[in-house]
Amino acid sequence: MKNSLFVILLFLASCSYLHKEGDRPLARVDDDYLFESDLAGMVSPGTSATDSLNLTRNYIDSWIKKKILIHQAEKNLTESQLNFDKELEDYRNSLVVFAYENILVEQRLDTSVSEIEIESYYDENQDIFLLKNNIVKLAYVKIPLDSKHTKQIRRFFFSADPDDKEKLADLCDKYSTQYFIDDQTWLIFDDVMKELPVNTYNQEAFLKFRRTFEMQDSLYLYLMKFSDFKIKESISPLQFESQRIKSIILNKRKFTLLNTMRQDVYNEALQKNTIEIY
């Protein structure tokens, strides 16, 4: 295929009468031509010559195969089977309506959602907010085993004094490999286990009987402190669902706005007698 591709390219490059003005054909399938300008912008600046050539070859090869398949289909379909006027009109109409409704939503949708609205929706629909995963509130720090500041970090990490949290953050910035000390944010426990070497076959039992946890591997010391947890299939806390509830409320507003707009347009058409049913 590569050899035949180069033969095609050389042949087309020599056929000046097939060129667009100032353009160079790269491939032909029957009466369809792929011109150099059709590849404009395909290769990003800074791409190596080898990668650029491979991308170009692959694109040309893909274009040829696609055109061959299209021509084969056109030869074997009837005129009625090749008539897509209705489908194209339906597709265009859908795009026109979609674009108009998007503009309408951008202009008219009230996107402010108060905490009272969020809490009210949560209280009225708690049955739909059941956890699919175990979630936790925790702080953790990952420290190199050879760190000279481990003792100090450990002391501040397990301290109950609120003032020590700022000192801990400063030390972690300088000497830890990774840390997260906002223990008031809910996290999915499975995601935590991807970051920390916590091995347990029973997450629920682990969470029920562990409040602090310290372990190490060949390179790092890990400090963990759990401040709260919720087990899957229990009611999800409001804080964890706040953004989801906001999205639900906005989607409901959008649905109402669009339905109202559609009905208003219909009513206006009726009043102007622009509708007739025969």
Q: pLDDT tens digits, residue range 99-139? A: 999 999 999 999 999 999 999 999 999 999 999 999 999 99
pLDDT above 90 covers a percentage of the chain that reads 66
pLDDT recorded at residue 13 = 46
Ranges of each domain in the chain: 2-76, 84-128+238-278, 131-230
Q: How confident is the model at residue 275 (pLDDT cuts 50, 70, 90)?
A: confident
Whole-angstrom CA distances from 102 to 91, 92, 129, 248, 269 are 16, 15, 29, 18, 21
Tokens (6 digits) for 71: 């021509």
Could you read off the pLDDT of 152-204 as tens digits, one per residue?
Answer: 999 999 998 988 999 999 999 999 999 999 989 999 999 998 888 888 889 99
The whole-angstrom distance between residue 126's C-alpha and the CA centroid of its chain comes to: 27
The backbone torsions φ and ψ at residue 62, rounded to the nearest 5 degrees and listed phi first, read -65, -40
Which residue carries 């209280």 as its tokens? 123
Is the domain 131-230 a CATH 2.20.25 member? no
Task: Report pLDDT for 17.
Answer: 42
Backbone φ and ψ for 136, nearest 5 degrees, come out as -140, 155
Question: CA-to-CA distance for 73 and 76, rounded, in angstroms?
Answer: 5
Which amino acid does the sequence have at 122? Y
| Residue 11 to residue 33: CA distance in whole angstroms | 13
Q: Mean of the per-residue pLDDT values for the chain?
A: 89
Rg of the chain, C-alpha, whole Å: 32
Q: What are phi and psi of 232, to 5 degrees?
A: -55, 150
What DSSP designation does 119 have?
H
Residue 11 has pLDDT above 90, yes or no: no
What is the pLDDT confidence band of residue 49, given thresholds at 50, 70 and 90?
Answer: confident
- Cβ distance 237 to 225 under 8 Å? no
Count of alpha carbons within 13 angstroms of residue 59, beta-carbon side:
16
Backbone φ, ψ for residue 84 (5° rounding): -115, 25
